[in-house]
Structure 1
Amino acid sequence: MNVVQPTLLLDEEKCKKNILKMVNKAQESKSVLRPHFKTHQSAEVGEWFKEAGIEKCAVSSLGMAEYFAHAGWKDITVAFPLNVLEKEKVNRLAKTITLNLCIESTETARILSDFVQHQLNVFVEVDAGYNRSGISSEDYEEIAGIIDIIQQNKLLHFTGFLQHAGHTYQAKGKSEIDEIHAFTSDKMRSLKNHFQKKYPEIIVSNGDTPTCSVSENFEGVDEMRPGNFIFYDVMQAEIGSCSYEEIAVALACPVVAKYPERNEIVVYGGAVHFSKDRIENESGTSMYGLVAQKSAYGWGNPTPGLYMKKLSQEHGTIHATDEFIRQTKIGDILYILPIHSCLTANLMGKYFTLEGRELGMYRFGF
């Protein structure tokens, strides 16, 4: 396709391979796959999951839930602490789909119980070590208090416990991922065992791409909720969740300036396109993206010696070798692998397949 400005390209074949790989992983693990759609945010990409037999999804906001409900999804989990100010959206969604919400305090439970008008399911969000949101997995007394409030309202159904092991994003390699997975899974199994006698149908829902990609033992995990795996990215490749060949999105950026004396190339593609997520290489240098090798169809592995070293609003500064600078012309298009594909996709707002077909996304305020 003819790229003239920063353009987010999507390799459909790689995406579908990533989907099938995770579907098979869930089946082998005897877990239900409920993919998190916050990464791709696209109704059309969602159809690829339906083709693979997936009937349930997770999202990160009630607005996104409305978007995917409109696209035909009937069982949606909002994997984010309930924003009680959006009660109209809650009741609108609960009237038409199976809606699953997350709460983590007795205060939120009481507010929800006061305004709910239709039946919906409720997860207690648990913190099993990430320290972002959720009630401590060891605070059984407080958890029991939340469950009691849920159970007192006939419109609310206590579904189980939900957690996200986001600290796996700081792991390096499979052994560290497995260590975090073993710790958090043990916490969740203990919690489930404690409450299962009184609530025999409760489930445990775990979600993060690194563990779902590489760990093997999912005993006691009833539901897997990874999201980033649909695209993967540089961060996931460096963690060990995927290979670079599995990264399914790249930002195509025009070259606008060259500075051989500084070993730098400037592209049209900055923080408003990539975000400012970064990782550090072995020498401690910050990298905001990697330049991929062009192939006959899309892109391949990162090009040795090239990385995005600096971002401003529209500018992206690439550290480049002398040879690469000599070979590169003003107006050339570079394929840059994002550090964090979720944020890059959210900023770009749409995709183009390698055949040039445009795919839309959920935009805030749907």
Structure 2
Amino acid sequence: MITKPTLFIDKTKCKENIQRMCSKAKTHQLELRPHFKSHQSLEIGRWFKDFGVNKITVSSLAMADYFSSEWEDITVAFPTNILEIETINDLAGRINLNLIVEAEDTLAFLSENLTSTLGVFIKVDIGYHRTGVAPENLALINQLLSQIDASDKIQFKGFLGHAGHTYKCRTNEGILEVHQKSLEIMARLKNAYGERYPGLIISVGDTPSCSVAENFEGVDEIRPGNFVFYDLAQNKIGSNDISQIAVAMACPVVAIHKDRLEIVVYGGGVHFSKDRLEGEKEGTVFGRVVEQSERGWGDIIPGMYVKSLSQEHGIISVPGSMIDQYKIGDCLMVLPVHICMTANLMKSYHTFDNEVISRL
């Protein structure tokens, strides 16, 4: 029985999403190293193994430690935090660990303090402008490579980029334009350094590009993550159909204000986060209500959406023709805007077979 906000997962949809991305990687002869920051679950991770995945990406050393009990090849796709050197050394002594670097100081510290061998990718800024070396800064790239070559504990793996600016796109054409520019940047680096490092890996991978694109020329590895669940934000970008969203939040109805055509649910910012969709026809949207079925959910209900969130409250706008259909004690199923944040807040997933799937 649902008594409080509960995050449900549709296992069939989730596994279909995994299979679809694995098939795309196989078709294009790519290594799929999925990012596990979206689900952060050992059990869901095992579903990837069923499709032949054996390498993963995470966004923190704590996450790497959690998954190291079942995964032997892990890339931490976040700038190396040298203050966690004890954890780095512990992990590097147990698994094939890859870090990302972009600074001379980071490499100097690793060279002095590593006790086991690990791999590093040089992070390249391919247009997102969050982190990474500017691809035209060959002087810095050459200096980083010289430091790597001089270390007996550090192995150069290749160049890694993240086209996070696809999240600002709203059409497939926009996604593909960003993706193509990313390919061109990485191709120049591969041409410049491929002879010197014949095994270097070009690693890219955001969910929009990996969902939409069919050209991965020059790429060796992709690292999408959100695709395992998808969400409303990805749908707005153009990555997925609503029918592919594999998670929804069940929220109890705690108050009804017919005069305002609003329902209050137990489900607020501490459950969904406050990610939102701006510029929708209704204005700002924090989630959308979907039709319920005995073992899941269906289409979005037109005109029913989360219009505001406070800490515990969610305010649902309801069409006047539907307001009388609901009563206090009902539960509404809501698709989240950003599932990575929502799942991180909720800490577990429930299935319609009364299973609870834990996560980090």
Residue in 1 aligned with 2:354?
356
SS in 2 for 1:310: strand
Secondary structure at the aligned position of 1:142 is classed as helix
Shift of residue 284 of structure 1? 6.9
Q: Distance between the aligned counterparts of 2:282 and 2:161, measured in 1?
A: 31
Q: Secondary structure at the match of 1:306?
A: strand
Q: For the residues of structure 2 that align with 1:361 and 1:311, how far apart are their CA atoms?
A: 25
Q: Higher mean Cα deviation, 276-285 or 305-314?
A: 276-285
Alignment-mate amino acid for residue 57 of structure 1:
I
Specify the alignment match of 1:291 in structure 2.
289
Whole-angstrom CA distance in 1 between matches of 2:303 and 2:136: 47
| Partner Cα separation in structure 2 for residue 324 and residue 234 of structure 1 | 23
Distance 2:129 2:322 in 1: 43
Shift of 1:323: 2.2
Unaligned runs of 5+ in 1: none
SS at 1:226 equivalent: coil
Q: TM-score, normalised by structure 2?
A: 0.98
Q: Distance in 2 between matches of 1:95 and 1:20?
A: 32
- 1:72-87 → structure 2 map (5 Å cutoff): 72-87=70-85
Q: Which secondary structure state, in structure 2, belongs to the residue aligned with residue 48 of structure 1?
A: helix
Q: Paired residue for 2:250, among 249, 252, 271?
A: 252
The corresponding residue for 2:113 is 115
Aligned twin of 1:227: 225
Report the equivalent of 1:318. Answer: 316
Is 1:4–1:254's contact at 8 Å kept on the other side of the alignment? yes
Q: How far apart, CA to CA, are the structure 2 residues paired with 1:92 and 1:250? A: 37
RMSD over aligned CA atoms reads: 0.9
> 1:263 pairs with 261, 264, 268, which one?
261
Q: Structure 1 residue 283: deviation in Å? A: 3.5
- Partner Cα distance (1:281, 1:359) in 2: 35
| Aligned-partner Cα distance in 2 for 1:200–1:266 | 60
How far does residue 139 in structure 1 lie from its aligned partner after superposition?
A: 1.0
Residue of structure 1 equivalent to 2:33: 34
Amino acid aligned to 2:111: S
CA distance in 2, matches of 1:184, 1:59: 21
Q: What amino acid does structure 2 have at the position aligned with 1:192? A: K
Cα contact 1:32–1:222 (8 A) shared by 2: yes
Secondary structure of 2:52's aligned partner: coil
What stretches of structure 1 move > 4 A for 4+ residues in a row? none
Post-superposition shift, 1:325?
Answer: 1.4
Map of 1:24 onto structure 2: 23
- Provide closer, same or farther for how the CA distance between residues 227 and 120 of structure 1 changes in structure 2, counting only shifts above 3 A: same
Match of 1:125 in 2: 123
* Matching residue of 1:236: 234
Query: Which digits, 9 at most, give the CA deviation of each residue in 1:68-113, with x for residues without a partner?
Result: 002x100000010001000000000000100000011111111111
Q: Name the structure 2 match of 1:3.
A: 2
* Paired residue type of 2:107: A
Q: CA deviation at 1:173?
A: 1.6
Unaligned runs of 5+ in 2: none
Maintained 8 Å contact 1:37/1:58:
yes
Q: CA deviation at 1:189?
A: 1.1
Q: TM-score, normalization: structure 1?
A: 0.97
Q: Is the 8 A contact 1:103 1:109 kept in 2?
A: yes
Question: What amino acid is aligned across from residue 188 of structure 2 in structure 1?
Answer: S
